[in-house]
Amino acid sequence: MESGTAAKRAIDAGTFAEAFRITAANRENEIFVRTKGDDVALTWREVRERVDALAGGLAKLGLARGQSMAILLTNRPEFHIADLAAVTLGATPFSIYMTYSPEQIQYVVSDAEARILVTEPSFLPQVLEARKSLPDLEHVMLVDGEHPDCLRLDEVEGSNPDFDVEAAAAAVQPDDVLTLIYTSGTTGPPKGVQIAHRNMMAGVRSTEDIIHFPDGSRVISWLPAAHIAERAAHHYLPIGYGFQVTCCPNPRDVMAYLPDVRPQWFFAVPRIWEKLKAGLETMLAGLPDEQRAGAQAAVDAAIEKVRLEQRGEPVPDELAEKVRQADEQLFSGLRAHLGFDQIAAVNVGAAPTPLEVLEYFHAIGIPVSELWGMSETCGSGACNPPDRIKLGTVGPPAPGVEIKLADDGEVLVRSEVVMVGYRNMPDRTAEALDADGWLHTGDIGEFDEDGYLKIVDRKKEIIINKAGKNMSPAYIESHLKSSSSLIGQAAVIGDGRSYNTALIVLDPDFAPAWAAQNGLEGTSLEELARDDKLRAAIQEGVDAANAKLARVEQIKKFHIVPGDWQPGGDELTPTMKLKRKPIDRKYAEEIETMYA
């Protein structure tokens, strides 16, 4: 790099091709990406050398500025290398959900017109099946292993040593498309959200004004790279700010990674926090009687303090001292045990989070706060500032983001973070983006007196019952799932009906363990769905949820679905959102029985 580059700030760059090279120069001997235990630990310089070597090889295969490249990998160091190599060429790398069927792979690869796909052996059967219907997919590249119909990543990397990488990176423009995020497709085929370099650079810059990350901050890469949250939080932000990334290939293992990494920022969906709360409560309940009573009193006092602070009321000195001692003697140890003792910000999003879950973590000194964003806004939108968190809201609009409400309460966003449009879908783009540049998000929201936004639900998913009462199914479902660790998923039915019912899916981790503890012989989800003792336990959870809901929102009847709902299956999108219409069709008989 030319002299003076190291003095630049990556977040002031116009493109991620430039930002990566600035950070790599500024931090060349620091670790950029690693695996747990440092089996792999690559410095910024080492990553840049591999990125440059692979960029040359990809160029030799014909990948050029403006073209797309598909990536189907677990969370591993090679993802960052492959993605950045394509970005360096001005190409558009995009990720495919690991749960996709051959037909779904074929759809997104065809829509993106990708001629190169990077994958690993575990996904090769689906990829090769999809390839039969992809005549324009010229190259499949394997990160590990060999196959006669595939190239190896290590043979492409370094195959074009005379390639001018600096010239290629310098040619990338802010308006070039950085990536495609294929939305989950709850209402039809996935839409390819086109995010330009300038969009995501604006989102990365906005973060600096909300959260002040310490130098050398660490994050865990554990969400699907096809999701905007993973790419923004664990790929683009690290490039902009020089974070260290630890790759967690199996998302079920993420809690075990926290004590190893001790991240400064952690983001998870509500279900993770609900399960963690249940686990901590079980752990405290298992203490000897005297210790258990003291621990519960400490938690109760800390929750009382949180509620007073949230209401803006003074905290009595005696209560403050009691909580201070509890933090010193109990909570600080819990945070260290979990790996949250060095956190600068910790967030939850993608679905409503019950207030009692948020209060619990604030009480023990883990300030979990809600944020809101979309694929179409680079994941940016509204965020609670760490020093001014209002529980039950997603915070004020992020710096550089305008938010207003339409007459019907729909949240509208205008900002540099808003997408270019949907790929190959001009009609859908015109529906989403109006002439004044406002993105119509499809979410219903409301502002409080402090300008903090609260998301009610998706506009299309609001339930209107027979009496004309509007309700948020997601709100009711969040209470059901938090009321019992046995409930893994819940789908509320009630549109046009005289009362609400629910389809309930057992938690695949907790339900078998509960069954064993309670002496039940059958521990498969199918067997447990028919067990009277378990049904009674679910009823207790439903009753607990109903106690926190308005009468009209309460669940009158429920059906326990045998088996599990898998991401990318009939009932859930790859991002765990409910496919409500397919659920209604698939379980029509069970639903009608509840209304008989």
- Model pLDDT, residue 278: 85
- Model pLDDT, residue 7: 63
- Residue 344: burial class (beta carbons within 10 Å; 0-12, 13-18, 19+): middle
35-49, 139-153, 569-583: range with lowest mean pLDDT: 569-583
> For residues 63 and 56, what is the distance between their CA atoms, to the nearest angstrom?
9
- DSSP sequence for 271-336: HHHHHHHHHHHHHHHTS-HHHHHHHHHHHHHHHHHHHHHHHTPPPPHHHHHHHHHHIIIIIHHHHH
- Model pLDDT, residue 37: 93
pLDDT exceeds 60 at position 530:
yes
Residues 6+ apart with CB under 8 A from 410: 440, 441, 442, 443, 444, 445, 459
- Model pLDDT, residue 111: 98
> For residues 383 and 349, what is the distance between their CA atoms, to the nearest angstrom?
10
Q: Is 453 helix (H, G, I), strand (E, B) or coil?
A: strand
- The two three-digit tokens of residue 48, written as one number: 């840049």
The neighbouring-strand residues paired with 574 are none
Q: Please tell me which of 42-46, 284-288, 464-468, 525-529 the model is most confident about, judged by mean pLDDT.
A: 42-46
Interhelix angle 289-311/355-363, nearest 10 degrees = 110
- 454, containing H or E segment: strand 453-458
Give the mean pLDDT of the chain. Answer: 93
Q: Is 351 helix (H, G, I), strand (E, B) or coil?
A: coil
pLDDT exceeds 60 at position 305:
yes
> For residues 179 and 93, what is the distance between their CA atoms, to the nearest angstrom?
5
Over range 171-178, report the average pLDDT.
98
- Asked if residue 138 lies in contact with residue 151, where contact means CB atoms within 8 angstroms, the answer is no
**Torsions phi, psi for 110 (to 5 deg):** -70, -45
Name the more confident of 185 and 250.
Answer: 250
pLDDT exceeds 90 at position 586:
yes
> For residues 79 and 40, what is the distance between their CA atoms, to the nearest angstrom?
13
pLDDT exceeds 80 at position 186:
no
Over range 437-443, report the average pLDDT.
95
> For residues 199 and 377, what is the distance between their CA atoms, to the nearest angstrom?
8
Alpha-carbon distances of 171 from 91, 307, 337, rounded to whole Å: 11, 54, 48
> For residues 434 and 441, what is the distance between their CA atoms, to the nearest angstrom?
11
- Model pLDDT, residue 185: 61
| C-alpha angle 128-130-135 in degrees, rounded to nearest 5 | 95
> For residues 273 and 456, what is the distance between their CA atoms, to the nearest angstrom?
20
* % the chain with pLDDT above 70: 98
Instruction: Report DSSP state, residue 61.
Output: T
- Model pLDDT, residue 573: 82
> For residues 374 and 405, what is the distance between their CA atoms, to the nearest angstrom?
16
> For residues 133 and 37, what is the distance between their CA atoms, to the nearest angstrom?
41
- Model pLDDT, residue 32: 98
- Model pLDDT, residue 487: 93
| C-alpha angle 545-272-179 in degrees, rounded to nearest 5 | 125
Give the neighbor-by-neighbor strand order of the sheet with 345-348: 265-268, 345-348, 368-373, 381-383
The answer, as to whether pTM is greater than 0.85, is: yes
The neighbouring-strand residues paired with 404 are 412
Over range 546-561, report the average pLDDT.
93
- Model pLDDT, residue 561: 96
Instruction: Report DSSP state, residue 397.
Output: B
Give the neighbor-by-neighbor strand order of the sheet with 244-247: 41-43, 31-35, 244-247, 218-221
Number of Cα atoms under 13 Å in the Cβ half of residue 8:
19
- Asked if residue 374 lies in contact with residue 441, where contact means CB atoms within 8 angstroms, the answer is yes
- Model pLDDT, residue 485: 87
* % the chain with pLDDT above 90: 79
Domains defined along the chain, listed by start? 5-264 (3.40.50.12780), 270-341+343-459 (3.40.50.12780), 462-594 (3.30.300.30)
**Torsions phi, psi for 287 (to 5 deg):** -75, 160
Residues 6+ apart with CB under 8 A from 171: 65, 90
Query: Would you report the helix, strand and coil content of the chain in percent, each value rounded to 5?
Result: 45, 20, 35
- The two three-digit tokens of residue 436, written as one number: 């004044």
Nearest CA to 489 among 554, 557, 562?
562
Task: Work out the pLDDT band at 468, boundaries 50, 70, 90.
Answer: confident
**Torsions phi, psi for 186 (to 5 deg):** -75, -25
Instruction: Report DSSP state, residue 395.
Output: B
- 154, containing H or E segment: helix 153-156
- Model pLDDT, residue 2: 42
Instruction: Report DSSP state, residue 374.
Output: -
Residues 6+ apart with CB under 8 A from 89: 55, 58, 59, 63, 64, 65, 168, 172
pLDDT exceeds 90 at position 521:
no
Over range 509-513, report the average pLDDT.
86
Pairing assessment for the beta strands 31-35 and 41-43 based on DSSP bridges: antiparallel
Over range 356-370, report the average pLDDT.
95
Over range 137-146, report the average pLDDT.
96
pLDDT digits (tens, 9 = 90+) for 390-420: 999 999 999 999 999 999 999 999 999 999 9
- Model pLDDT, residue 426: 96
> For residues 581 and 566, what is the distance between their CA atoms, to the nearest angstrom?
16
Name the more confident of 414 and 2.
Answer: 414
Alpha-carbon distances of 576 from 85, 232, 289, 396, rounded to whole Å: 30, 19, 39, 26
Instruction: Report DSSP state, residue 123.
Output: G
> For residues 297 and 559, what is the distance between their CA atoms, to the nearest angstrom?
37
> For residues 566 and 550, what is the distance between their CA atoms, to the nearest angstrom?
31
